[in-house]
Amino acid sequence: MNKDDVIYSLSLIFCILFGYIYRNINNKEFKKWIGTILGLFLMVVLGGYHTLHLFVVCIGNIFILFHNKKKCHLLSFLFSFTYLLFFRTTVYFGIPYPPAHMNMIQMMFTLKMVGLALDLENCTLAMGDYDNKTDEQKAEIIYSYFNLTVADVFHYSLNYIGIVTGPYFRYRTFLDYIDLPFSKYANCEKHTLKKLRIFPLIAVIFLFLSYYWPISYCTTEEFFQHRSWSYRFWYMWVIFYFYRMRIYCGLILTECICIMAGLGAYPEITRPRSGHGPTDNFQTIYQIAKDTSLLSKTEFNFETVNNIDPVEVDFCITVRAAMKHWNTCIQYWLAVNVYKCFPYKKFRTFATLFVSAYWHGLYLGHYVCIWSMAFYLPIEDLYVNLYLKDNSEPYLKFWKWFIWYMKMQTFGYLCVAMQLLTYENVMRYYNSMDHFWIVALTILYLIGLGIKFKRRVQTAIVDE
């Protein structure tokens, strides 16, 4: 680990420990300011003067949010993501490139600003059509509505919780955290320890891999000139495991920051969803909040900030299943801010994948990794429908294992692009591997289509 990674890790650990103090602050305004000041301090430590980028985005969005609340989402989206492009190309304007961890802060800040604009636009439009809604819809509108001030924008976007690597949470979640007493009645320590139970193993694997098999080695001449094809194949799995363990460590720790502070605690009966918050029984939220006897009896969970489940990601069978447990708060943001808002339904998936890749970065590797999923999923779906759909196929265990291997091998192959990033490094690695997995998937797809056609013919003969 380099110096920046050490500072980053220590910052996350400090934020987790500080959560116990922060959630027990009773004065709401004081609590907001403490969270904001600590957030600013962390940003200066990790990003130095590059923190000024956040203020530019924040002030620009404040102008947009209060200029036209009914059309602020699109304007905020265009402004924030355009500025993200500038942020990543500052060297062309004579401004030094920001530190790596500052890039992640800017990424999360962009999501918060655009998400806030969507929430503000939605609640403004919903109030205008309030009389035509059902009782349950009215309860949700009342719960979701908020009055926004300039100070609120700063407090939400700059609070230390979620500022570094997420998870993404809505402004409504932040308001509930400040205004409602759920964090004082939820067993935050228990939920934090539950989330951390697998962390030591993941951290050890990450440190072990980074020390003995660093990513930088696969860009050296020795790697390509003196290592065999099988070694490079094996090293692809090393890259994959390194990447996963690194992401797992970061997401688990940042999720624990939220949990230890009590942000995202909601009654289980409200059926919270990752990134979104409560989805049911909205009228009971304030009833519980006002009654201490109900508060002491209520079961709370932190599903709102549940962002990663490493065990499910690794051991579920398909990519589609894995994505339901991988960075789920960000996926929620993409679903509601891009997929559902894009005007042309036919191109929604493409638009979502493009925004996801653009948000991750400007390198070719980001686009190769994320866009390639659109080509892999039809292959996976084909084999799932052929062999897993009704769980009655012979050799079912074999086919489950086979499709799981397809998932992991695809992740590993594409992870090379995500880690090596540049065109030269990515293509040199893939060329040295003869693009074997692309070839293999193409052959598997053609075989699957042949089996599907054969079954259709057999079914037609039987029906006759």
Q: What is the residue extent of each domain of the chain?
A: 3-362, 363-464
Contact 105, 47 (CB under 8 A): yes
Give the number of C-alpha atoms closer than 13 A to the C-alpha of residue 187, restricted to the C-beta side: 9
Is 27 designated active site? no
pLDDT one-digit tens code per residue, 298-316: 999 999 999 999 999 999 9
Contact 73, 124 (CB under 8 A): no
Q: Is the pLDDT of residue 1 over 70?
A: no
pTM: 0.92
Q: Which of 159, 327, 337, 425 is catalytic?
A: 327
Give the contacts of 70 (CB within 8 A, at least 6 positions apart).
Answer: 121, 124, 125
- Mean pLDDT of all residues in 275-292: 91
- Mean pLDDT of all residues in 105-114: 95
Contact 404, 200 (CB under 8 A): no
Q: What is the pLDDT of residue 142?
A: 81
Q: What is the pLDDT of residue 7?
A: 83
- Mean pLDDT of all residues in 45-56: 92
Strand partners, 277: 273
Residue 416's nearest CA partner among 213, 237, 248 is 237
Is 360 designated active site? yes
Q: What is the pLDDT of residue 125?
A: 84
Quickly tell me which residue has 């265990």 as its tokens: 397
